[in-house]
Structures are given as C-alpha cells and as structure tokens.
Amino acid sequence: MLKSKSNAPSPTEAIYERLWDAIAERNLRPGTRLKEEQLAEIFAVSRARVRSALAALERDGLVRLVPNRGAFVAEPTIREARDIFFARATIESKLVERLCAHASTGAINRLKAHVAEERAAAERCDRAAAVRLSGGFHLLIAELAGSPYLFEVLRDLVSRTSLITAMYQPRGEKDCGPDEHEDIVSKIACGDVEAAKLAMDHHLDHIERQLNLAQSDEGPRHLREILS
C-alpha cells in the first residue's frame, strides 16, 4: 500500500492522487484509455513513475491493466458493484460495533466536526470536497474504531465506491447529503450498538439503491483538457 507520509507525499502518490480525483469527480470516465507516455508528458514525469502510479491504481480497483495493451479506467460490473457494497456492509457494521464499545467523547467530537465540514462543502456545492469528505467520514469511523488494517481495506472500498457512483449513479441524482452520516453519529453517541449498526447498514443500502443500470453515454473528452 502507499505509505501515507504525513509531510512529503512521494511523486508517485501525487500522480495517484490527481488521477484519483479526476476519476472520482467523473472527469475521467470508465473505459477511458490511459496511455503511459501521454500521462508522463502531462504530469512532466518519467514513464516509470506513471507505471508505478498505474499499478497502485490497479491495486485499488480504479484502473484495469491489460498486458501489452495498456491501462484503462476500470468499468466495474453490476455484480462487482454489489460485491463491494456487501464487503462494505460486512466491515463497516463491525467497525461501528467496535466503535460503540469504546467511543470517547473526543471521538464523538471528531465525528461531529467532520459532518459539519461535509455540510459546509455541500452548501458550497463543492463537488470535489463533498466526494472526498463523504468517503472520509467512513474512513474516520475506521480510524476511530482502531483497526489499521480494516482502515486500509475500507480506503480501497471507498475508492471503488466512488468509481461505481461515477458510473452508475444518474447525473441528476444529488449525492446523499450529510444527514445520514449525522444520524449514524448520533446513534453512536447514544451508545446504542444495534441502532448504530442498522443506521450504517441503511445508509449503505441507500447508496446502493440509488444506482441504476443505464450507463452514461456522453462523448469522450481529451485527457490534456481534463487534467489542466
């Protein structure tokens, strides 16, 4: 996994992040071909570094690597999408349970502060921030629950969920606001384990239900234009 060096993000990470953003914000649509040389030129780095960034993105399920063919933005199938949500429910339910078991007031406050940030971003209509913060909420739960390993797995799952959302959620549909997150936090604050788990399950189920099977059919756009 990519190390999260707090101060200095490695060059590979930087490319990883920029591509991640472009995909999650729906600017790079599923199926788009990612040519190594092209990316190397755009980001002004060597091809080798692009390669390692693409390898990392493949590990997180955002990119599909075909031998001798190249890299493409992944196109998760409906079946895979449902599997991702199953995995999320499995893991997040347990994390909520564990968090309830020993939730400090500090933890509750961090959760509340995060939801407030989400609300602010939603009101600004800052899509990029909203997507990032929405995923961040779930990661925060994993962090506070105290399982570094499941935190990493969930980070992966959240990335994949972003891609799935970009692919299957109708463009008109508004992202789920911070209301359900707030609900989950309040249940955790009460210390009601079962209610909190149900709230999380319901939340994930709600996101899953918003998906539809019709794929977007806009024309392709040029990499150079999207990645500024």
Binding positions for a copy of itself, rule: CB under 8 A: 1, 10, 52, 55, 58-59, 67, 80, 83-84, 86-87, 90-91, 94, 147-150, 153, 157
- Nearer to DNA (CB atom), residue 48 or residue 78: 48
Q: How many residues does the chain have?
A: 228
CB of 154 to a copy of itself, least distance (A): 11
> How many angstroms separate the CA atoms of 195 and 180, rounded?
13
Sign of CA dihedral 56, 60, 64, 67: positive
CB of 47 to DNA, least distance (A): 6
Is residue 30 within 8 Å of residue 73, measured between CB atoms? yes
Residue 186 interacts with which of DNA, a copy of itself, none, CB < 5 to 8 Å by class: none
**For residues 200, 205, 210 and 212, what is the CA-based torsion angle, rounded to 10 degrees?**
150
Residue 210 interacts with which of DNA, a copy of itself, none, CB < 5 to 8 Å by class: none
CB of 10 to DNA, least distance (A): 7
Task: Outline where DSSP puts E strands in the chain.
Answer: 33-34, 63-66, 70-73
Residue 46 interacts with which of a copy of itself, DNA, none, CB < 5 to 8 Å by class: DNA
Is residue 6 within 8 Å of residue 195, measured between CB atoms? no
CB of 203 to a copy of itself, least distance (A): 18
- Where does this chain bind DNA (CB under 7 A)? 10-12, 34-37, 45-49, 51, 65, 67-71
Residue 90 interacts with which of a copy of itself, DNA, none, CB < 5 to 8 Å by class: a copy of itself
- Nearer to DNA (CB atom), residue 47 or residue 224: 47
Three-class secondary structure of residue 174 per DSSP: coil
> How many angstroms separate the CA atoms of 22 and 227, rounded?
7
Residue 218 interacts with which of a copy of itself, DNA, none, CB < 5 to 8 Å by class: none
> How many angstroms separate the CA atoms of 24 and 160, rounded?
9
